[in-house]
Structure 1
Amino acid sequence: MASPAFEAIVEDFEFLEDWEDRYRYVIEQGKALTPLDKALKVPATKVHGCASQVWLHPIVEDGVFRFDGESDAMIVQGLIAVLRSLYNDLSVPDVTKTDARGELARLGLNDHLSAQRSNGLRSMIERIQQVATENLAANG
């Protein structure tokens, strides 16, 4: 089961029937994020494969995964917020077991994002999974 924060987004999406409202909701989630410190916007945190500029800064403390991120595109910033609700505060093993595509399919995002946005979302998920897998291998 997904985190309570992600479940809240799923419930909100069920209430919002119009995709314009859903996009607006995702954008509002992104606007609520704290901007990433400029010192963290470096090549090591940049996500490649996104049409827009995206940086993800993962943090693992005591086996708990969290990440912050930022994008120069409003909808992508919102997608970062959605991914944070899905992954933040999970144990590293739970991050590696999370079926992000399946969970996001519950929102219907797969059918309503452009090919470029879908590729970017996939790249962000892959980066998160890579960090968690590497952390698990190093500390597991």
Structure 2
Amino acid sequence: MTLPADAVTALDTFQQAASWEQRARLLMQWGDRLPALSDVDKVDANRVHGCESQVWLVGTLQDGHWQFSASSDARLIRGLVALLLARVNGLSAVELQQVDLADWFSQLGLGRQLSQSRSNGLNAVLQRMRELAH
């Protein structure tokens, strides 16, 4: 399966980072670049349950491909969510089902930094994307 362009960029960037400190800084930068969701979108119906932090997710289907927007009140989570969006935006519903979250974050060199609760939270976000796309 070919990766979306943003995902390729993310891989290139993170694989060049020599240390965890560099990757952590990059993670924050990716989160900071995430476009803000409007207050209209920050409603309970768009909230992802199963995250310790608050995460909101909205998705739209364009020509058979999904585009997601998300936001979080936690900076680190925003970065992780931004990287998840890079991986999934532009995919079809079928491709979305095949995304391997753990594999994606370990390719980025972030796998061992994902605590159990963060991993569960991101899986909840991905699960919500799949529900929206179903």
Tell me which residue corresponds to 1:138: none
* 1:56 corresponding residue in structure 2: 57
What is the DSSP-based 3-state SS (H/G/I as helix, E as strand, rest coil) of the residue aligned with 2:69? strand
Q: Which residue of 1 aligns with 2:93?
A: 92
RMSD: 1.4
Q: Is residue 121 from structure 1 mapped to residue 128 from structure 2 by the alignment? A: no
Equivalences for residues 14-29 of structure 1 within 5 A: 14-29=15-30
In the alignment, what sits opposite 1:101? 102
Normalising by structure 1, report the TM-score.
0.87
User: Unaligned stretches of 5+ in structure 2?
Assistant: none
Query: Take 2:99 and 2:17, find their aligned partners in 1: how far apart are those partners?
Result: 25
Amino acid at match of 1:32: R
* Preserved CA contact (<8 Å) 1:2 1:103: no
Letter in structure 2 aligned against 1:65: W
Contact 2:55 2:71 in 1 (8 A): yes
**TM-score, normalization: structure 2?**
0.91
Matched position secondary structure for 2:70? strand
Q: Which residue of 1 aligns with 2:39?
A: 38
Q: Is the 8 A contact 2:14 2:109 kept in 1?
A: no
3-state DSSP of counterpart to 1:35:
coil
Determine the C-alpha separation between the residues in 1 that align with 2:10 and 2:39: 28
Matched, 1:80 2:91: no
Correspondence for 1:112: 113
User: How many Å separate the matches in 2 of 1:16 and 1:109?
Assistant: 11
Structure 1 distance, partners of 2:20, 2:41, is 33
1 CA distance for matches of 2:116 and 2:102? 15
Runs (4 or more) in structure 1 with deviation over 4 Å come to none
Flag structure 1 segments of 5+ consecutive residues without an equivalent. 135-140
Count the aligned residue pairs.
Answer: 133
Identity, % of aligned pairs?
Answer: 35
Q: Equivalent residue for 1:137?
A: none
In structure 2, C-alpha distance between the alignment counterparts of 1:32 and 1:55, rounded to whole Å: 16
For residues 41 and 32 of structure 1, what CA distance do their matches in structure 2 show?
18
